[in-house]
């Protein structure tokens, strides 16, 4: 049985709707949060948190917001809900959202505004430091794939597919 809860805040341009699906094929509890920046974003940003995942919730939030930025679903100047609002909408601890927002701010992707939530910044220009950090992360992922038995040609194919998916996605 699914339950719905919605919130429209007239003071901002955010409409948040939380759907809790308590009955899934594997009996997992999943939360969906649809965030619409009415004046800017046409496509919704959907946060899907898997409470049974080994990945921490803050990392799931961070990863999905980064992907939304890469896909152009969150544009520079868009406002995200406050930490408290998003935590309430997702039914998670506010420190979980605060940590994800902190990581986004540290990466230079959002600015945090007290009592006003977070604002998406323009994507930074490429830098040698960012390139080095990305290379190190990619190296760890490729090493995990190889250690897990994936063939190098399959890893290359997967990388190319991800780049193609993120580059050609409509914004």
Spell out the SS3 assignment of 2-19.
Answer: EEEEEEECCCCCEEEEEE
Residue 48 tokens read as: 């899907």
pLDDT for position 88? 92
Helix (H/G/I), strand (E/B), else coil: 117 = strand
Q: Is the pTM of this model over 0.75?
A: no
pLDDT for position 113? 82
State the Cα–Cα distance between residues 147 and 138, nearest whole angstrom. 14
Helix (H/G/I), strand (E/B), else coil: 158 = helix
- Residue range(s) in the chain whose domain bears CATH number 1.10.10.10: 2-120
State the Cα–Cα distance between residues 137 and 135, nearest whole angstrom. 5
CA distances from 5 to 32, 48, 79, 89, 91 (A): 11, 15, 21, 8, 11
Q: What is the pLDDT along the chain (171 residues), one digit of tens a residue?
A: 333 333 333 233 333 333 333 333 344 455 555 444 433 334 567 788 999 999 999 999 999 999 999 888 888 998 998 899 999 999 999 999 999 999 999 999 999 988 777 999 998 788 888 889 889 999 999 999 999 999 999 999 999 999 998 887 654
pLDDT for position 142? 93
Partnered with residue 4 across adjacent β-strands are 19
Residue 73 tokens read as: 């679903």
CB 122 within 8 A of CB 115: no
CATH architecture of 2-120: Orthogonal Bundle (1.10)
Q: What angle do CA 65, 66, 68 make, to 5 degrees?
A: 60
CA distances from 9 to 23, 31, 43, 116, 161 (A): 29, 20, 19, 12, 38
């Amino acid at each position: 049985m699914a339950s719905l809860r919605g919130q429209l805040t007239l003071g901002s341009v955010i409409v948040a709707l939380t759907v809790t699906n308590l009955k899934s094929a594997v009996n997992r509890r999943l939360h969906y949060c649809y965030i619409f920046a009415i004046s800017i974003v046409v496509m919704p940003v959907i946060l899907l948190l898997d409470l049974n995942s080994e990945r921490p919730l803050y990392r799931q939030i961070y990863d999905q917001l980064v992907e939304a930025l890469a896909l152009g679903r969150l544009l520079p100047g868009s406002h995200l809900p406050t930490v408290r609002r998003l935590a309430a909408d997702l039914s998670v601890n506010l420190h979980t959202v605060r940590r994800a927002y902190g990581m986004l701010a540290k990466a230079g992707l959002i600015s945090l505004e007290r009592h006003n939530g977070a604002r998406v910044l323009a994507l930074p220009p490429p830098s040698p430091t960012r390139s080095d950090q990305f290379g190190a992360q990619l190296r760890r992922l490729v090493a995990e794939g190889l250690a897990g038995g994936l063939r190098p040609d399959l890893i290359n194919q997967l990388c190319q597919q991800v780049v193609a998916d993120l580059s050609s996605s409509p914004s």
